[in-house]
Amino acid sequence: MATSSPIAIYFIALFVASSITSTMLAISVPPELTDNLHTDPGAIKLASIDYGRIIKEKPFAVLYPSSLDDIRTLINLSYSSSFPYTIAAKGQAHSTWGQAQANKGVVVQMSSLNSFRNGTGILISGDRSSGFYADVGGEQLWIDVLNATLARGLSPVSWTDYLYLTIGGTLSNAGISGQTYRKGPQITNVLELDVLTGKGEFVTCTSQKDTELFYAVLGGLGQFGIITRARIVLEPAKERVKWLRILYSDFSSFSTDQETLISTTGPSHKVMPDYLEGQLLMSQSPLVFYPQSQHQKITSLVNQYGIVYLIEVATYYDNKNEDKRVKQMLKSLKGFVHGFVFEKDVTYLEFLNRVHDEEIVLRKKGLWDIPHPWLNIFIPRSRITDFDNGAFRNILLKRNFTSSTVLVYPLLRSKWDERMSAVIPDEEDVFYVVGFLDASADDWETFDNRNKDILQFCVNGGIKFKQYLGHHATKEEWINHFGSKWNTFQQRKARFDPKMILSPGQRIFNN
Ligand code: FAD
Confidence of residue 182 (pLDDT cuts 50, 70, 90): very high
- What atom in ligand 1 is closest to the CA of residue 228? 18
What is the residue with the minimal CA distance to atom 16 of ligand 1? Answer: 168
Backbone angles phi, psi at 61, to 5 degrees: -150, 160
Higher pLDDT, 33 or 468: 468
pLDDT beyond 60 at 8: no
Return the higher-pLDDT residue of 439 and 34. Answer: 439
Separation of alpha carbons 16 and 73, rounded Å: 18
Pocket test for ligand 1, best of 142, 166, 217 (most atoms within 8 A of CB): 166
Task: Indicate whether 24 pLDDT > 70.
Answer: no
Q: Pick the range with the lowest mean pLDDT from 22-31, 69-78, 499-508.
A: 22-31
190, β-bridge pairs:
232
User: Residue range 143-169: average pLDDT?
Assistant: 98
Instruction: Give 240-467's CATH code, choosing from 3.40.462.10, 3.40.50.2300, 3.90.1150.10, 3.40.190.10.
Output: 3.40.462.10
Domain ranges of the chain: 6-114, 119-236, 240-467
Q: What value does the mean pLDDT take over residues 426-448?
A: 96
Q: Give the Å distance between the CA of 292 and the centre of ligand 1.
A: 35
**How does residue 14 score in pLDDT terms, banded at 50, 70 and 90?**
low
Residue 277 a catalytic site member: yes
The pLDDT-based confidence of 30 (bands split at 50, 70, 90) is: confident
Quote the pLDDT of residue 31. 74
CB neighbours of 436 closer than 8 A, spacing ≥ 6? 374, 375, 376, 404, 405, 406, 447, 451, 454
pLDDT at residue 62, rounded to an integer: 97
State how far the Cα of 292 lies from the Cα of 332, in Å rounded to an integer: 28
Has 94 been annotated as catalytic?
yes
Ligand 1 midpoint to CA 136 (Å) = 16
Residue 3: band (very low, low, confident or very high) from pLDDT cuts 50, 70, 90: very low
- At 360 the pLDDT is 97
Query: In angstroms, rounded to a whole number, what is the distance separating the alpha carbons of residues 396 and 282?
Result: 10
Q: Which residue has the higher pLDDT, 60 or 116?
A: 60
Which residue in the list 50, 70, 139, 277 is annotated as catalytic? 277
What is the distance between the alpha carbons of residues 24 and 196, in angstroms, rounded to a whole number?
27
Mean pLDDT value across the chain: 93
pLDDT of residue 26: 40
pLDDT at residue 322, rounded to an integer: 84
Q: What is the per-residue pLDDT across 472-504, written as a single tens digit (0 to 9) for each? A: 989 999 999 999 999 999 999 999 999 999 999
User: What is the best residue among 48, 162, 377 to mutate for testing ligand 1's pocket, by most ligand atoms within 8 Å of CB?
Assistant: 162
**For 135-153, how does the pLDDT look when each residue is reduced to its tens digit (9 = 90+)?**
999 999 999 999 999 999 9
246 confidence band (pLDDT: 50, 70, 90): very high
Distance CA 107, CA 86 (A): 8
- pLDDT value for 11: 59
51 Cβ inside 6 Å of ligand 1:
yes
What HEC string does 149-175 produce? HHCCCEEECCCCCCCCCEHHHHHCCCC
Question: 377-434 pLDDT, tens per residue?
Answer: 999 999 999 999 999 999 999 999 999 999 999 999 999 999 999 999 998 999 999 9
Strands 106-109 and 87-90 come out as: parallel
Q: Compute the average pLDDT of residues 224-251.
A: 97
pLDDT at 116: 84
pLDDT at position 104, please?
95
Q: Whose CA is nearest to atom 8 of ligand 1?
A: 100
pLDDT, tens digit, for every residue of 200-234? 999 999 999 999 999 999 999 999 999 999 999 99
Cα–Cα nearest to 507, from 462, 471, 483: 471
Say if 119-236 and 240-467 have the same CATH topology. no
Residues of the chain with pLDDT > 70: what percent? 93
How far apart are the C-alpha atoms of 14 and 18, rounded to whole Å? 6
Q: What confidence category does residue 33 fall into, taking pLDDT thresholds of 50, 70 and 90?
A: confident
Measured in degrees and rounded to the nearest 5, phi and psi for residue 216 equal -65, -45
**What does the pLDDT average to over 41-60?**
97
pLDDT digits (tens, 9 = 90+) for 335-374: 999 999 999 999 999 999 999 999 999 999 999 999 999 9
ipTM: 0.99
Active site residue 453: no
At the topology level, CATH places domain 119-236 in 3.30.465
Considering only CA atoms, which residue is closest to atom 34 of ligand 1?
Answer: 162
CATH class of 6-114: alpha beta
pLDDT of residue 5: 47
What tens digit of pLDDT does each residue of 297-321 get? Answer: 999 999 999 999 999 999 999 977 7
